[in-house]
Chains A and B, each alone.
Chain A
Amino acid sequence: MSIDTIVFFILAATSIISAILVITRRSPIISVVYLVFNFIILAIIYLTLHAQFIAVIQVIVYAGAIMVLFLFVVMLLNLGKEEMLTEKITYKKRIAIGLAVVMSVQIIIGITTSFGEHPNQLSPLATQIGTVEHIGKVLFTQYLLPFEIASILLLAAIIGAVVLAKKRIG
């Protein structure tokens, strides 16, 4: 086994374990911490795929901004009390989880068999396309319209978040 593969398996195992911990921890704060950890692992995986720009914004936007927002809300709502967090596992939920597991196993098998004939080598272009230079060039020419739409989406989200979270109704 080459060093690449070993590194990949270590990263994959850590990311899966941290993801499982996110959804099984009782306290939201601990979940947030594991989620941040998961995102950082993913950023490292992106680096192994030569996607530097994505790896950096993954850390800045996700681990930095979004997760801090989550932590902030958890603190604001003060959900430390245990009794508020008790969850019941009903039979309906069991069926739902069972279905989800069956579906995901199907997806995994389906996808891994379908892409068997795909290139199993990183494309030689891979080192060039992930750079800030290249992404910037494409973003402001070919992807100009989506970029502008994303800015309107962010504007709407900013105002919406303020409107909804503000205390007074007027």
Chain B
Amino acid sequence: MIPLNYYLALSAILFSIGVVGVLARRNAIIVFMSIELMLNSVNLTLVAFSAYLGNATGQMFVFFVLTVAAAEAAVGLAIIIALFRNKMTVNIDEINIMKW
């Protein structure tokens, strides 16, 4: 049998890859994809806990995370389109005309 830890380690690695993607990439679309990776790794943690604890709550949570991820992706991509109309770019560095 596969220990629970293996699943947790896998999801932690995927989460970290997502975080690195968000920090390192400048293309807004790829940044959003990295965020989807992060959310998916959380789903993996939840499903694994749910199966090992014998408790449906985790899988219910995944259902809602999927819903929210879909909503967030739709709005995020709409914002990218609106911005592209104004500035003709999706590079996050180029759109930082606002100072920090």
A54 touches B63 (CB 8 A): yes
A53 touches B73 (CB 8 A): no
A84 touches B91 (CB 8 A): yes
B56 touches A49 (CB 8 A): no
Query: Which residue of B is nearest A85, CB measured?
Result: B27
Q: Using a Cβ–Cβ cut-off of 8 Å, how many residues does chain B contribute to the interface with A? A: 71
- B77: chain A residues at CB < 8 Å are 69-70, 73, 161, 165
Q: Using a Cβ–Cβ cut-off of 8 Å, how many residues does chain A contribute to the interface with B? A: 87
- A116: chain B residues at CB < 8 Å are 5
Q: How far is the CB of A137 from chain B (nearest CB, A)?
A: 9
For the residues of A in contact with B, the DSSP-based class is helix
Query: Which residue of A is nearest B2, CB measured?
Result: A8
Which of B1, B6, B43, B79 makes the CB contact (< 8 A) with A164? B79
Residues on A close to B: CB < 8 A?
2, 4-5, 8, 12, 15-16, 19-20, 22-23, 28, 31-32, 35, 38-39, 42, 45-46, 49-51, 53-54, 57-58, 61-62, 65-66, 69-70, 73-74, 76-77, 79, 84-85, 87-89, 93, 96-97, 100-101, 103-105, 107-108, 111-112, 115-116, 118-126, 129-130, 134-135, 138-139, 143, 146, 150, 153-154, 156-158, 160-165, 167
